[in-house]
Amino acid sequence: MFGWIRKWTQRPQPEALWTVSIEPDHVRVTDDAGQTKTLAKSDMAGVAIETNDTGPWRADVWWLLFGSDGQLACVYPQGATGESVMLD
């Protein structure tokens, strides 16, 4: 009777369509549309965490990575595939 709930909860969340990886010299972020951005570790000047009120229907926690020029270089949502490597 409640099989639809089990199927709904087992589906990957949209945030998981984003991927984050750390290479030896840079961070790579690929968004849900397949566009990839990289940021050299040596150029990373700051990290911010943004929250908003769109959850639980949309991603409401975002990681913002800033380059040495002070501009936003990469962004990804909490729940992105591979996000745990950023915290290690």
pLDDT tens, position by position, 6-38: 655 555 578 899 999 999 999 999 999 999 999
User: Do the bridges between strand 61-67 and strand 44-51 make them parallel or antiparallel, or are there none, so unpaired?
Assistant: antiparallel
Q: How far apart are alpha carbons 68 and 66 in whole angstroms?
A: 7
Contact predicate 86/77, CB 8 Å: no
Contact predicate 46/61, CB 8 Å: no
pLDDT tens, position by position, 43-74: 999 999 999 887 677 788 999 999 999 999 99
Say if pTM beats, i.e. exceeds, 0.85. Answer: no
| Domains located in the chain, CATH noted | 3-87 (2.30.29)
Q: What is the DSSP string of 34-61?
A: S-EEEEEGGGEEEEEEEE-S-TTTS--E
